[in-house]
Chains A and B, each alone.
Chain A
Amino acid sequence: MYKNRGLIDLADEVKSQRSALLVLGCPQVPVQTSIALYLIHRLRQAGISPVVAGNRSAVTLLVVADPKRHYLGEALDLDRAIDQITEKKRDFDLCFVFIHNDAGVSYAATMGAISKARLYAIIYGEHYDKIVSSIEFPCINIAANAVHNPMPLKKMLDEVAPWAV
């Protein structure tokens, strides 16, 4: 009886586990891979299951940096992730979109329109302030002037602590 109860508890836990989608941008700005791995780590620590979506280069940078998948879990092609969410086959509790250019803003707006997830825009790069001012849709901005050094962006991420919400 005790055993069965444990199984039921486990099933409930799996069912109720929150999930997060990390939408990667073009990987040409170095801080993206570092901050993505850090965010994945914090989400896991908080019991949130992270899924990464990006183009081949962005995802491969993570796969190579974490060969034993200590941090990285499921990784999806970006177009496939958008297809699944738009077709209501899948959704997430949290969504983080990495933005350093205009295309990133378009992807964030798209996620805001197609997903019910709580939307976070992680904005970085030398033009981060212009990007912040161009965002007119509802989302939580986490922004810093970070190109090579991830620490300013990590600091902002720690202050917002989206994994604790």
Chain B
Amino acid sequence: MGCIESLPYEVIMRGGSFKECRDYVRKQFGESRDVQPGFKIFDTHIIGVPPISIGLDGDFVIFPFTKPCHGTFLLRVEDKAEADRLRKRK
């Protein structure tokens, strides 16, 4: 298990549903990739209802992060390597 909490993240949305986070990514970011639950991002298996949309904005990666008691957060993390890896996915 990776440590998303230890990354220098910015919370873009909190308290929304998973679907709201997905809609926000698709509307606000021209570039995105759909992945399946369990896909590894920042060394953590992503949780969510498929398809899970991950936004790309330059070197920033925008993705949902779900915890049982706190719901889904939409986080933004700057990481060129991870953004490049995601861009290579069709």
Interchain CB contact under 8 A, A103 and B70: yes
| Residue numbers in A under 8 Å from B71 (CB-CB) | 101-103
| Residue numbers in B under 8 Å from A110 (CB-CB) | 37-38, 47-48
Q: Mark A45-58, 1 if CB is under 8 A from B, else 0.
A: 00000000011011
**How large, as a class, is the contact surface on chain B?**
20 to 34
Interchain CB contact under 8 A, B49 and A105: yes
Q: Mark B21-45, 1 if CB is under 8 A from A, else 0.
A: 0000000000000001110100011
Number of interface residues of A (CB under 8 A): 29
| Residue numbers in B under 8 Å from A79 (CB-CB) | 1, 44-45
A74-130 residues with Cβ-Cβ distance < 8 A to B are: 78-80, 82-83, 85-86, 101-107, 109-110, 113-114
Q: Is B69 an interface residue (CB 8 A)?
A: yes
A53 CB → nearest B CB, Å: 10
Q: Is B8 an interface residue (CB 8 A)?
A: no
Knowing A80-B1, A106-B18 touch, does A28 contact B69 (C-beta < 8 A)? Answer: yes
Q: Mark A8-28, 1 if CB is under 8 A from B, else 0.
A: 000000000000000011101
Q: Which residue in chain A gives the minimum CB-CB distance to B46?
A: A110
Query: How far is B18's CA from A107's CA once the two chains are assembled, in angstroms?
Result: 11
Interchain CB contact under 8 A, B68 and A109: no
A79 CB → nearest B CB, Å: 4
Q: Which residue in chain B gives the minimum CB-CB distance to A112?
A: B37
Closest 5 pairs between A and B when the two form their complex, measured CB to CB = A26-B69, A110-B37, A109-B49, A86-B38, A113-B37
